[in-house]
Amino acid sequence: MNICVIGTGYVGLVTGVVFSDLGNEVVCVDKDAAKIEGLTQGRMPIYEPGLEEMVARNVADGRLTFTTDLDGAVARAEVVFIAVGTPPRPDGSTDLSFVEAAA
């Protein structure tokens, strides 16, 4: 299955890596070009036991890629997961502007 994961924070990155480790073709997208460049070079922005090794294995096997090209990644995907921040607003409600921007 071709999967696109939008957001490479803790939730998005780990989700995308696990999906790729299960044999899916995964493209992880983020608007932060420096973060994508780091991931492409094997630098992890977060710590999770075994994550670095899983990323390296799945990138080498061609199942996992990283990009800033949202439109291209979504166009090729069968399934899209949005894993971006949803911070609270001052009134306590959820700020969905990042989700709306990704959608």
DSSP string, 29-58: E-S-HHHHHHHHTT--SS--TTHHHHHHHH
Cα–Cα dist 61/16, whole Å: 14
CATH of the domain at 86: 3.40.50.720
Q: What is the pLDDT of residue 103?
A: 86
Strand partners, 80: 4
Q: Name the domain count of the chain.
A: 1
Secondary structure of residue 7 in the 3-state scheme: coil
Q: Which residues of the chain have pLDDT under 50?
A: none
Q: What is the pLDDT of residue 49?
A: 96
Q: Which two tokens stand for residue 46?
A: 């977060």
Give me the domain span that covers residue 81: 2-102
Q: Which two tokens stand for residue 3?
A: 């999967």
Q: Are 74 and 81 in contact (CB under 8 A)?
A: no
Q: What is the pLDDT of residue 71?
A: 95
